[in-house]
Structure 1
């Protein structure tokens, strides 16, 4: 990429959850490559996650390490959402708000402070900080445009249920493209836990509304994937400073995304080398979801009945013998055609291998984009957060996926699951397979030179560089004015001792 940033200084502030940090750090890599000077704000226990980035950009990326604030609802020493339940997200977001004062002090004492803050959508309070400092705030959305549209709609209009106990009450979004409708239980947990007047709830509501007021918006998506929702967002925000720069995964960037390298990772790739093209199903539900014993048994039985070759990545529960445990005897039953990985797996490398043809996923946005890049058909089992909206996009609009289950507590029918898995890897002419390959081409066109995401990334950097130049000129004029004495429309230099 050509260097166009001119060294303009920005602050990047990720939210400390894997699905949020990884894409924003990927964006940071791109911004530094294009010539911006970046300071990344992290808390001490997350500093090591920046090592690949710092080693690649030793001169253009620096760190600002601030102590993680305490909060009565958070366990002592916790600094990353992966160590918490989703119900702890409001407390995590509120705790991070306590960084406003130390961050303000850092800005005021810095000899060349950033001209903009690029911060995660869960850090909406940084908009108020940016206004106080007289600089720009750019929202980063690790979710797609459709999911973000739903979130903004919720926090702006605050729809309610007629019966507060009806978890299946349907909530409609008539002003959005395609007018989606979702049962209450499929809406954002942050929104469902909102209590009017509660200080933490009001802080989160204010944060999302501050996002809508911020100067710009960067989305980890690409134009042709979600054009209708991008147009909707621009109309709702009242400006076109909306940039789609995804998928942000860069083959030339850091490769250890979300986990350390492991010796056995090479064994998986060697095993995949021995498999036929497009015959392997990759199964993974992200970094946080832990399946119950009943779900594990149904899923394991479905994979066994499918007869398909598979890799199953499992997150095991800490201290809970009833969750995340492989059904007894399964590994013996599928020996030779099934590999089970406990903990982190090199997902990007697995999905991009020629042998993988399908992906059973929770529909987290990072996984969705990685699946689209790889051109694999998907089996959708959304469980929470933005995943139900993502599943709608994949299944009903893009038609690259089949919905196999819904909800964090649902248990799939093993017979039906086995049938769908078998069909997806056997029939290469299924519409989902064909559409997945077409979507892969669209993704690659977006991120290559001249593509929509490539151009939007350049435009974002040029906007920030222009703002930095304007600010420098203003400061230069102010400095000159401070050393001039104005008299009768003339001025002369003020002599200082």
Structure 2
């Protein structure tokens, strides 16, 4: 690590991502931005997740290095599990708690460097890694919590574990602007499955409570997207501390970067663009892009309802599905023969697809990375939330931003009828009922681009974050 200035080595920051792809990639994007602003950063990984760092390390070889440590074993996790990839959702809390086993090795590693130019001046870690708060305290340095989620969604999950509301028909959030309320079935499973006295549950709660002691939150969002929440004092984001919005931290839509970030692609961006080009040339109307996330296995009733609606309406579509998702018998063959649809099993170049002019709507589970990618591309969304923070994200899109239309609010518990899905698809693609939603999506794209442009709100927040971290380095000398 030889990045240096005339005054000596650049300040050294320890970065701890959560071992889940959507969380990790966003924090690595921020790592690259900080490296380009004169900081040195060591990123903690385990053997299974270390390859994810190749792009940022190649872009900043002198500023970014990798600290690979064995993933801590835990009785609640199967042997060999190191990340959320292919992990049943019910075991995700165990993964978070097990990862905290790196506390001791990291303290030893950092203390061995405390007297030299590689001393750590700050810890930047995912908000699922709240255990790095006492780690930072042991090292005598500040810790900054990073959330790859919305300010609103982050405040909702933090509020649950701070207030611990009892199961009720409706859960309210009085400390969040607008005092939103959600039925119990739309509350994150992380909270719904909490068991008092259980080691994993209590460890999960401790992670969220530790976040409230951090020196600030950094969020993958932008001010014009969440002005209402970023401008308000949010007790669950540490109302007396600085909350920075630095997004969208989105990848470029080229084949090379997409392949490096997402792994093995089921289809290349060039191939998919060529297929989509045909709908522009032949003036065959808009295409609907469909994805429920890279890890979600859509349940058969939900998949059947969507497949039936697509066939009934005849809308053109690209549907990226997890390999294990079961679709109705014969559906994929009929789609291939008809020429108006395409099913991609595995990882698909989503960003490139959303930025193609043939794609007019996006059926999405409202995972935050997908939301930001659609917002940056100016594509209106058909919201179909399932779990986690997705209901909060969908409410933000539908109620606050008017950039999405709900398909269903049933989530995992209740699949919609095929005719209900067909009615929404047909109105979106063939009708003009939601023209104002499409127009608002285009406005969001302009606002997202302005936020990350030099001098924009998010660009300035990254500049100020880098400056604060450099100042910490100067104070440590």
Question: Rg bigger for which structure?
Answer: 1
Q: CA deviation at 1:161?
A: 2.5
Work out whether 1:135 is the aligned partner of 2:141: yes
Q: CA deviation at 1:249?
A: 1.5
- Equivalent residues in 2 for 1:71-82, closer than 5 Å: 71-82=74-85
Tell me, which stretches of 5 or more residues in structure 1 are unaligned? 163-168, 318-322, 473-497
- Equivalent residues in 2 for 1:183-194, closer than 5 Å: 183-194=183-194
Aligned to 1:227: 227
- Equivalent residues in 2 for 1:98-497, closer than 5 Å: 98-110=101-113, 111=116, 112-161=118-167, 169-234=169-234, 237-251=238-252, 254-255=257-258, 256-261=260-265, 264-276=268-280, 279-317=286-324, 323-333=325-335, 335-405=338-408, 406-427=410-431, 430-472=435-477
Structure 2 vs 1, CA of residues 234 and 412 (structure 1 numbering), >3 Å: closer, same or farther?
Answer: closer
Q: CA deviation at 1:266?
A: 2.2
Structure 2 vs 1, CA of residues 238 and 420 (structure 1 numbering), >3 Å: closer, same or farther?
Answer: closer
Structure 2 vs 1, CA of residues 313 and 410 (structure 1 numbering), >3 Å: closer, same or farther?
Answer: same
Q: RMSD between aligned alpha carbons?
A: 2.1
Q: Are the equivalent residues in 2 in contact too, given 1:141–1:219 (CA < 8 A)?
A: yes
Aligned to 2:65: 62
**Any idea what SS the aligned residue of 2:195 has?**
coil
Aligned equivalents of 2:111, 2:65: Cα separation in 1: 17
Structure 2 vs 1, CA of residues 285 and 126 (structure 1 numbering), >3 Å: closer, same or farther?
Answer: same
TM-score by length of 1: 0.88
Aligned equivalents of 1:66, 1:42: Cα separation in 2: 6
Please list the CA deviations of residues 265-315 of structure 1 after superposition, one character each: whole Å capped at 9, or x if unmatched.
Answer: 322111111112871100000022112232222111111122211100010
Aligned equivalents of 2:233, 2:101: Cα separation in 1: 30
Work out whether 1:96 is the aligned partner of 2:102: no
Tell me, which stretches of 5 or more residues in structure 2 are unaligned? none
**Any idea what SS the aligned residue of 1:232 has?**
coil
Q: CA deviation at 1:398?
A: 0.7
Q: Are the equivalent residues in 2 in contact too, given 1:377–1:424 (CA < 8 A)?
A: no
Q: Are the equivalent residues in 2 in contact too, given 1:12–1:39 (CA < 8 A)?
A: yes
Aligned equivalents of 1:380, 1:263: Cα separation in 2: 25
Structure 2 vs 1, CA of residues 121 and 370 (structure 1 numbering), >3 Å: closer, same or farther?
Answer: same
Q: Are the equivalent residues in 1 in contact too, given 2:161–2:208 (CA < 8 A)?
A: yes
Q: CA deviation at 1:157?
A: 1.1
Q: Are the equivalent residues in 2 in contact too, given 1:136–1:215 (CA < 8 A)?
A: yes
Q: Are the equivalent residues in 2 in contact too, given 1:279–1:355 (CA < 8 A)?
A: yes
Q: Are the equivalent residues in 2 in contact too, given 1:124–1:207 (CA < 8 A)?
A: yes
Matched residues, number? 459
Q: Are the equivalent residues in 2 in contact too, given 1:446–1:453 (CA < 8 A)?
A: yes
**Any idea what SS the aligned residue of 2:318 has?**
strand
Pick from 26, 40, 53 the counterpart of residue 50 of structure 1.
Answer: 53
**Any idea what SS the aligned residue of 1:316 has?**
coil
Structure 2 vs 1, CA of residues 238 and 389 (structure 1 numbering), >3 Å: closer, same or farther?
Answer: closer
Q: CA deviation at 1:252?
A: 9.5
**Any idea what SS the aligned residue of 1:353 has?**
coil
Q: Are the equivalent residues in 2 in contact too, given 1:82–1:287 (CA < 8 A)?
A: no
Q: CA deviation at 1:396?
A: 1.0
Aligned equivalents of 1:275, 1:175: Cα separation in 2: 47
**Any idea what SS the aligned residue of 2:261 has?**
coil
Aligned equivalents of 2:100, 2:335: Cα separation in 1: 51
Structure 2 vs 1, CA of residues 150 and 312 (structure 1 numbering), >3 Å: closer, same or farther?
Answer: same
